[in-house]
């Protein structure tokens, strides 16, 4: 059993989101989504993403999980701490997801494409609920919390930078390219809808790849 899980973990791309979450929970890197704290974090991720951090009240959040607002502060010390914890867990999960997607890809070009698709899936599928919060609500965090999240964020960005460098994208150094790309991709949250019978995520990935990847 353990060995079987190891094998599956080796080909992580084949892991379902639930499997990946389970593995990360076991390692103690994520909060169990079935626990009271975990349910609060998931609900907060959804609400902060839908309505924005400052337009979400602790009463909204409490109602979402079926408790009273005061009870939230048995699990968290402040509303801002909830945002911080959400961002940290979202980052950890998105990193693990993208790393496994990149590992599955063979060529540098495919790795870059995997990054793009992984981030788009994180934003639009249920893959990583709350991912867009990372960009949209950054200013709602205190300086102290920003530093905490940034430590985890660096891992995530390093995967991107490696992919961009290896693929030899145009537009100068990888940092600038990545920053332009994170803007382009995260902004899709406000206009791209999966359900409409228009663009699909793989198609949108293609468009972005055509733009950012080197044209031969």
Interacting residue ranges for a second copy, rule: CB under 8 A: 51-52, 54-55, 135, 138-140, 169-172, 176-177, 179-188, 190-192, 199, 204, 207-208, 210-212, 214-215
Q: 57 is in the binding site of which of a second copy, DNA, none (Cβ under 5 to 8 A by kind)?
A: DNA
Q: 36 is in the binding site of which of DNA, a second copy, none (Cβ under 5 to 8 A by kind)?
A: DNA
**What one-character DSSP code corresponds to residue 34?**
T
Q: Considering the complex, what minimum distance in angstroms separates the CB of residue 203 from a second copy? A: 8
Considering only CA atoms, which of 128, 108, 132 is closest in space to residue 118? 128
Q: Give the CA distances from residue 111 to residues 100, 126, 155, 166, 168, in Å, rounded to whole numbers and listed in that order.
A: 10, 22, 16, 9, 12
**Distance (Å, whole) CA 71 – CA 168:** 51
Q: Which is nearer to DNA, 86 or 174 (CB)?
A: 86
Q: Which is nearer to a second copy, 151 or 176 (CB)?
A: 176
Q: Considering the complex, what minimum distance in angstroms separates the CB of residue 152 from a second copy? A: 18
Residue 21 contacts residue 89 (beta carbons within 8 Å)? no
Q: What's the token pair of residue 138?
A: 């950054």
Q: Is 40 exposed, middle or buried (0-12, 13-18, 19+ CB in 10 A)?
A: buried
- Show the binding pattern over residues 47-76: x = contacts DNA (CB under 7 A), - = does not: ---------xxxx--x---xxxxxx-xxx-
Given the structure tokens 């892991």, which residue do they identify? 15
- Show the binding pattern over residues 78-117: x = contacts DNA (CB under 7 A), - = does not: xxx-------------------------------------
Cα torsion through 111, 151, 17, 185, rounded to 10: -50
Does position 34 interact with DNA (CB under 7 A)? The reply is no
**Distance (Å, whole) CA 212 – CA 12:** 26
Q: Which is nearer to DNA, 82 or 102 (CB)?
A: 82
Q: Considering the complex, what minimum distance in angstroms separates the CB of residue 58 from DNA? A: 4
Positions touching DNA (CB under 7 A) are 35-37, 56-59, 62, 66-71, 73-75, 77-80
């Amino acid at each position: 059993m353990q060995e079987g899980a190891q094998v599956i973990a080796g080909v992580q791309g084949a892991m379902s989101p639930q499997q990946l979450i389970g593995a990360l929970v076991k390692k103690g890197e994520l909060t169990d989504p079935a626990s009271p704290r975990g349910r609060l974090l998931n609900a907060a991720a959804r609400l902060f993403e839908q309505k924005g951090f400052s337009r979400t009240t602790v009463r909204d959040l409490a109602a979402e999980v079926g408790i009273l607002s005061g009870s939230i502060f048995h699990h968290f010390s402040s509303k801002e701490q909830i945002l911080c914890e959400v961002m940290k867990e979202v980052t950890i999960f998105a990193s693990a997801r993208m790393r496994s997607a990149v590992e599955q890809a063979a060529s540098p070009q495919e790795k870059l494409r995997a990054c793009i698709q992984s981030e788009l899936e994180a934003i639009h599928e249920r893959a990583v609920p709350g991912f867009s919060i990372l960009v949209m609500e950054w200013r709602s965090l205190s300086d102290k919390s920003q530093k905490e999240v940034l430590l985890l964020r660096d891992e995530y960005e390093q995967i991107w930078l490696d992919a961009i460098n290896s693929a030899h994208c145009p537009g100068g150094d990888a940092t600038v390219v990545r920053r332009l790309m994170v803007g382009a991709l995260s902004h899709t949250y406000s206009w791209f809808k999966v359900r409409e019978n228009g663009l699909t995520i793989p198609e949108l990935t293609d468009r972005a790849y055509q733009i950012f990847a080197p044209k031969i």
